[in-house]
Structures are given as structure tokens and as C-alpha cells.
Structure 1
Amino acid sequence: MSRRVVVTGLGCITPLGTTLKQSWSNLLASKSGVVPITSLPNYKSDYEQFANSVPPTVVVGKIPELQEQVGLVTDQDARRVSDFTKLAILASHEALSHADLLEKRSGDEVSIDQSKANLYRFGCVIGTGIASIQDFYSTSVSFHNDRKRVNPVFVPKILTNMAAGNVSIKFNLKGVSHCASTACATGNNSIGDAFNFIRLGMADVCLAGASESCIHPLSLAGFIRTKSITVDDGVSRPFDAKRSGFVLGEGAGMLVLESLENAERRGADILAEIVGYGLSSDAFHITSPCSDGNGAMRAIQMALDMGKVNTEQIGYVNAHATSTVLGDRAESIAIKSALLPGPRSGLDGNLLFVSSNKGAIGHLLGAAGAVESIFTIMSLKDEIMPHTLNLENISGAKGDNYEKDFSGITFIKDKPIVNPNLEYALCNSFGFGGVNTSLLFKKWVK
């Protein structure tokens, strides 16, 4: 069995906004969700003491203050769940509302309209990269001082599958329950796994995505030690000559996926179709990509093969591009190898456009692919491709070779580009450990 899978709902919380509408409009308007850590309310109490490890020049992609819906995250939830689970609940509610799957009930209760979806075939696939580093840290400190001071819900708060578990409980989803945790590829893996569950007949509907909330001195110090985060001037510059590392961000992205049959039966508003999913391993290094981009290239090719799509049909790539010297170059090489077997030129929509959202939102780690898949779907739906904030000079970092590594690609750098000819778009996500993922989306035409 292999069924067609469509997207019918989207929800996200990002450094650009607490809703899909806010995040998407601010992305297109060149807004930035990146702020210096010195502006955080808890800077003096939590960060200043670690200035030797986390210098005050560090910036983060911080979500705006949440105006939570009454009753959605209860007082009990607030005590029992970690921040990444809380974000997952809120983004899931928006996605389910967007898909018109929630019953209209009085009061604070939320539930799925069972005339539109069978709860026993409604899956929940939500991942995270680091889960709750805040709870690890605070519990370790209190345990060191007093061996009896361990929160009874400490373990449930830190388990990576607790977002999926709590969202399933909140909305009574009784189908497939699954959690991917593949570092920065988590979001794409979650969506891809849900895609396969529906394709293979294991579910009719799936809530899929990822959530991340790990802005903390310990995580920042760790990434600084791996030389992954920029500490120079605090700017994320994907593909730029001055790129020097990523900016740590937080957020959540959730998608409602359905079999085409289920979506049509209930008259759903279809946003896009997922037609391909590719994944591979570099089998090279735990933090650095293979310099020739071979693993990423194979993931892209797998997605194209599954979707039975030719390279010339791909109009846009939402790149993983985190603003690291090695990573951005390797991805550009992979994109060229997979999608540019020959030159593309002209004004007939046959150019290959590439951009990264991370200049505006930073790197959301496990949630990156989920949020960026949402932006990719919006690009197809609204026929507009977002630009890469802070991209001024393509290539030029140490080791770059423009002709070999970057030429032939049309990088979107100044402003969004309207493209009514856009039919297929890819979203790439890669993770520590050598994980490579690529999702292929198709524009939905009624």
C-alpha cells in the first residue's frame, strides 16, 4: 500500500512570532528574532556568572513572550511538563485548528471532531533534539546540594518522547505514537516518519513536527566549545563570506498530515502534498559534514526518486545552511551535485533558487526542519520564496571556491521573490552524527 499524503494544517512558534501568520509575515518583511543574551530577563542571575564560557557578545533566537490560550496549558501542565513540551502543545493546537479538526466546545476543553478523523488512526509524531537541558541542570545542582531534592516528575520532564506523549493525551490521539531524535534533522525526520506511516496505511492522520527550548548557559557553552556558535558579532549569515557559526534558537513547528482520501472525505483545505523523503548518513564525523556533500546529495536524490521528479522541476530549496563555514559549503556542493547536472538559465522559472531562514530565526536545532518545512509549504502556497537575511557576499570564507562550490545556484539575498511557476520545493535538514534529510513538497492545485 502506498497512499498520497497531503498537508492540511500548520502551527508554529518561532523567534519571529507566536503564530504561523506572525512568523511568516515577519520573515518576508526582513524582521529578525535574534537578540543579545544581555537583553534576556534572567541574564544577570543565570548568564553573567558564566561570562568566561558564554561571552556577552553571544546572541540567541528567542521566542516572544507567549500569550497562552486559557486552559490549553493548565497550571498542572506548567508544573509537570518542560518548556519544549509546552511549546509543542501550543503549536499543535494551532495546527489542528488550522486543519479544522477541533470540535467547537464551550469552556476550555479541546477535542478532535470525530466525524472528521478516527482517533484510533490519528498518530502523533513529535521529536526534539536536546529535550530539557534546564531540568537536567537545575536537578543536578539541587541533587548535589541535597540528595533528597529530586522532583518526582524529573524523569518524565526530560524524556524526549514527552512532547508526543503529552500532546497525544491533550488531544486524545490514540494512533501511532512516535518520537524522532536525530539532532538538527529531528523535525524533518518526524515529518518523514509520519509521511511513511500514512503512506503505509498505519495511520490516516498524523500530527507531526518538533519542538526545542534549550537556550541555557550550559547548552551555549557546549556549542561554543565545539566551535559551532558565532561569538564574533552575533550575526547569522548563511552562505556569506563572513559566516562564522550559528545562532542558537528555540521554537516549535507542527504539521497535520493526512491521507488524500481522508482529507477529501472531510472537505479539508489542502495546503501542499508531500511526495518524497530522503535520508542518509555521512558516516564521517560526529559534528562536521563530509566536505564533498555526498551524504546530503544522496538524501536529496532519494527524495527526488521517491517523488519521481526530475531535477529541472525543483524550483526552490529551503536550505539547512546554519551559517557555519564547512556546513554551508558542503550543502551548496550537495545541491549543485544533485540538482544542477547542467546549467539553468533564463526567465522561464527554470532557475534553481536557494535560501535559508536561519539568518532571521537562528538555528532551532531539533525544531529547525519542522519550522522550515512550514515556511517551504507557505512558499508553495503563496508563490513567494523568502530571502536569506544578512546574506551580502555569497562565498568568500576560508576554503570557499565560488565557481566550484556555489556557482549556478540563484541565492535569494535581498528580498523575497514572487514565483508563480514554483511547483516543487525541497527542505533540507542535517544533524550531528552525520544525519542528512530532505523532504520534497509539491504545490497543491485544486
Structure 2
Amino acid sequence: MRRRLTSRIIILSVFWVAIALVATAALLTWLYRDHIEQHYDAHVFTHVEELIADVTVRPDGQPYLYRQPTDPRFYRANSGWYWQVVIGGRILAKSDSLGDRDLDISELNFDENHDAQILLDPLGQRLRARVVHVMPQNIDEEVTIVATAPEIQIQDDVADFGWHIALAFAVLGLGLTMAVLVQVFVALRPLKAIREAIGEVHAGHIDRLPRDFPLDVQPLVSELNSLIDHNETVLKRARTQLADLAHVLNTPLTVIRNEARSIHSKQGQLILDQAHTMSGAIDHYLSRARISGQKNVMGYRTSIKSVIDDLSFAMNRIYENRDITLELCSKGDCRFRGEVQDLEEMLGNLLDNACKWATKRVEVRCGLDGDRLSIFFDDDGPGIAEEELQAVTQRGKKLDENAPGYGQGLSIVREIAELYNGHLTLGKSELGGLSAELELPAVI
């Protein structure tokens, strides 16, 4: 499934923003934990140094601790804040928070760096311990001093910091996401404008893309305009060559028809009929070739009213002796998305057919339905039997062999309409004659 460029940029940007925020949050949490552990360890070691200074000897030569640390946490039972002084394997003093229990320091390592170590208290709680061996003056035995702090407090501090970081980074992530959305929509606005301009050109509202785009996309706009110009030039050249070909072929065919008329026999009539057939086929296939190269080209738009007005003037001159009334009723500004020559050929055939068979009146109506337009031709003539409506649009089919023409008109209209993804529908008119509905793409 293909995604839009906007969606791709937004998804990738949000993804990498999320990755960066999560990685940064994890790094900050790790740094904060390391900092808080060092802070606790330093605080605990301060109490160890305080205990070292408070170990002394009585006048009778017995060591004792003349002053205890004043931190209130050492007086709260089972707080995890403990201290203990050991001399010669016996406990000289310990914190009130231990109660009647002692710290088991047999598993601790005694090194010169006095690094923090993990120790379990009598209740199984994890503690961060600092332990020191010293030989105070006037004391012949080694003194071991240990002080601890509960690790759970570090975890609680880190967890609290983590929640604050998560909240702050969530707000930051939301802000960055909004910034990405704004940046993407603003940065891609020229591409959206190009797409809309191409739609305007395709619909026939404008001939070329505007030239007021940012410098970064202006080369693309220039290339698109050059492509439109090139296509138009190629089509004009092809149209000219097709017209030349039609002229080259029709000139000798005219000579053949003229000569055939001078031959008063069945062979002369056969030659004349075949020449008419060849001329109609040439016109038919040249028209199809011309339209096939133009029907999907951008920028063509043709006013229905202007074409009908021109054709009505011509029909009034052609059928002026029959006193036919032509009425045009247009709902909205009907515009055909295609070339004027194609529209003139279709409407000219339909209007000529209506005037040819009408008694006194021909109505032409035009209406819009979304991106489609419908043009109706109604006459008050004899009409066509329902079983013959389908056959009359076949090329070369004539219901009245005495009527002028070669039976190409309605078939040409149908085939041109189909090349524009439209269609021709014939039926019974409310005026009593034939009703022809031509549906074509509209400029909206």
C-alpha cells in the first residue's frame, strides 16, 4: 500500500523523535541514578568519618564512643540507616535503629578505597554500606566501623525522577510532533500547490502552471510547463500532417467521383459508391486518430453556448426556407473538457440531423451533473422507431436511402463521444420526434 509523501515524512520524523526521546530519557535516568548513588555513598561515608573521630579511650583504658551521630534516621527502627562499631570482634556500639539486632559484616570486603557494597540487614533489606578498618591512638585493637543507607530510597528517588522525566519528555515529544507537522505542511505546501495547479490545467481553468513557486521547486514547474508546450506542439504538427494527408487523398477521390458520374452504367455507379465509401472511411479514421491523441491532453475547454450559437446561425442559413425555430436553454456555465473542433463536429451532426427532420421546432438543452455535462437535442419531426434506435448509430446506416448524406453523422458522434468517455443516447422526444442526449466530460 503506497503512502503519501506527507505521511511518510511525518511517520519517520515522529519515529526518530520518539527513539531520541526514549534514549535520552534512559541516559538521563542512568546518569541521575549514578549521581544519587554517589550522593548517598558520600553522605554515609561522612557518618563513618564522624564515628571514627568519636571513638576514644576512658581513663581506665577501655575504648568507648563518647558521641553518636545526630541524624534522626539512625534512631528510627528498621529505617535502613544503621551504623555499627566493632573492636576485636565484639560490638562496641550500634545505632538505635538496629534495636536488638546486629549487622552481619562478615561478607564485606575490606579495601583501601572504601567503595560502597551491598549488604542485607537482619530483615533482608538491601543496604548500601561503607566500611572502614582503623587503628585509633591509645587503642591496641583494630576498629571496624560500618554505616549503611537503604537502597530502596535510591530506587524511589530514581523512579520519581523517571516519572518527572517521562512527563517532561511527553510534553516535549508532543511539542516536537506539532513542530514536525507544521514544518511538513509548510514545507510541502508548494508541492500541494503544484498538484492543485496541474488539476486546474487538466480541468481547463488555466493553460500553464504559475511561475511564482519557491526556487527549490521552480525547475520542476518549468519542466512541466515545457512538457505541456511540447505536447501541444506535437499535436498541432500531427493535426497539420493529418489534414495534409486528408487533402492528398480526397483530391484524387474527387476526380474519381467526377469521372464515375460521367460513366452512365452500373460500373460507373459502383465506382461512385466505392469512392464515397473510401472518402467516408478516410474522414472517419483520420478523425479517430486526431481525437485519440487529444482526448487526455490537459488544458482544453470549450464553451457549449458559443458553439451552439455559431451552429445555430449556420443552420438558420441552411434551412431558412423551412422556417425552423431553434431554442437554446442552458443551465449554468456548461463547458466541455475537450477541443472545440471535436465539439463542433458532434454538435454539428446532431443539430443538422435535428433540423433535417424537424417540422418547425428544435430544442437544445444543456445541464451539468458534477463533472459531467449532458446536451439534449429534441425535434418535432417523425422520429425513429424504437427497434431502429440502436442500428441508426452504426456507421453507414441510413433509414431513408433517399435522404442526403452517407449515414456517417450519428456514428461519428457516438465514436467521438466514446473517445472522451462519453456516450450518445437516442430516444423519443416530448416534442414528438427524436431526442438525442450527448453526455461528455465537463469543466468544473
Query: Is this a same-fold pair by TM over 0.5?
Result: no
TM-score scaled by length of structure 2 = 0.22
TM-score scaled by length of structure 1 = 0.22
